Amino acid sequence: MRLRLYLYPKEGAATLPKKFHHGLGSLIQSLANRAGRHLDSDPRLFCVSPPLWKEVETLNDTIRLKDGGSIIWGSAGTERLDRICNNREMDLLGNLCQIVRIEFIEEPLFQSTMVWRVPLFGGVVTTQKNKGTKKKLELTPVPFPNETRAALENNLRSKWLQFCRDFPKRAVLWSGEENPSVWIEGQRIEVTVPNKNLITISRVHQSEIKAWRGRISVTAPPAIQRLIWAAGLGQKTGCGFGFVELYRPKREPKVEVC
């Protein structure tokens, strides 16, 4: 499920730091009042988009959003929906914004192979824990394509198992199976990462987080594609990372032959 929140800054423009991801994620968590739902180590089953504005001015360390725009909140569940919809304004990282309207976003047709893209100012976070030192290695498609792919595939399986624990009836409905946590073991999940990527550095608490952007192809059952739509790709989706959109290639104009 996705909701688009249309926002208009009361000052006519909003100024955000470029490293806004943690603050944006914290804002959405507070609006949804998700306190106490997950352990810190559990996969998050919701995501939030970066600010989606037409009029954007990029300065040295800040982003200036002119006039109105929107953010999108995605979630695998609907238990906090009323808390999102009952707000009429929000403090967007120090910018008081009026919520002009809220609308549901219609789901796409989920297929076995789908291509996803990361919007401007967004990013996907993928890490791998070193078994010896137990430190996390930040992975990006360049230069770690195989490790990044494996991290995304493993994360999707972990998200699905968390989904089965949190929303068992919905997991049965999405998968069409009586035991969806066992069903996933025999399902193919294959991710193709881009051979080029753009890097974004942000900060969560006292740690710098490296995120990347690019097109990602996922071959998986439609139920897993639906989970990507609802809860994002990769890690740190509770901190404003991992939001992806369905990639739609531009159609070439028709050339009439005389």
201-226 pLDDT per residue, tens: 887 767 889 999 999 999 999 999 99
Quote the CA–CA distance of 193 and 218 in Å, as a whole number: 9
Residue 117 has pLDDT above 60, yes or no: yes
- Asked whether the beta carbons of 52 and 120 are under 8 A apart, the reply is no
**CA 211: distance to chain centroid?**
12
Query: Quick one: pLDDT band at residue 255, thresholds 50, 70, 90?
Result: low
User: Which is more confidently placed, 187 or 78?
Assistant: 187
Query: Quick one: pLDDT band at residue 133, thresholds 50, 70, 90?
Result: confident
Quote the CA–CA distance of 156 and 122 in Å, as a whole number: 19
**Average pLDDT score over residue span 69-77:** 93
Amino acid at 201: I
Inter-CA distances, 144 with 51, 133, 137, 138, 214, Å: 29, 19, 10, 9, 14
Residue 147 has pLDDT above 50, yes or no: yes
Residue 197 has pLDDT above 80, yes or no: yes
Query: Quick one: pLDDT band at residue 131, thresholds 50, 70, 90?
Result: confident
CA 233, 23, 76 angle in degrees (round to 5)? 35
Inter-CA distances, 219 with 30, 54, 87, 150, Å: 34, 32, 37, 13
Quote the CA–CA distance of 134 and 3 in Å, as a whole number: 37
Quote the CA–CA distance of 81 and 215 in Å, as a whole number: 30
Q: Quick one: pLDDT at residue 199?
A: 93
Quote the CA–CA distance of 217 and 238 in Å, as a whole number: 22
At the topology level of CATH, where does 114-246 sit? Alpha-Beta Plaits (3.30.70)
Quote the CA–CA distance of 203 and 20 in Å, as a whole number: 8
Percent of the chain whose pLDDT exceeds 90: 69
Residue 68 has pLDDT above 60, yes or no: yes
Quote the CA–CA distance of 172 and 170 in Å, as a whole number: 5
The two three-digit tokens of residue 124, written as one number? 């996907």
Complete DSSP assignment for 134-184: -PEEEE-TTT-HHHHHHHHHHHHHHHHHHHHHH-HHHHHHHHT-S-HHHHG
Residue 173 has pLDDT above 70, yes or no: yes
- Kindly report the average pLDDT of the chain as a whole number: 89
Q: What CATH class has 2-104?
A: alpha beta
Q: Quick one: pLDDT at residue 35?
A: 43
Output the pTM of the full model.
Answer: 0.91
Q: Quick one: pLDDT at residue 178?
A: 97
Q: Quick one: pLDDT at residue 135?
A: 81
DSSP 8-class letter at 133: T
Fold match flag (2-104 vs 114-246): yes
Query: Quick one: pLDDT band at residue 63, thresholds 50, 70, 90?
Result: very high
For the chain, the structural domain boundaries read 2-104, 114-246
17-58 pLDDT per residue, tens: 988 988 888 887 777 665 444 445 567 899 999 999 999 999
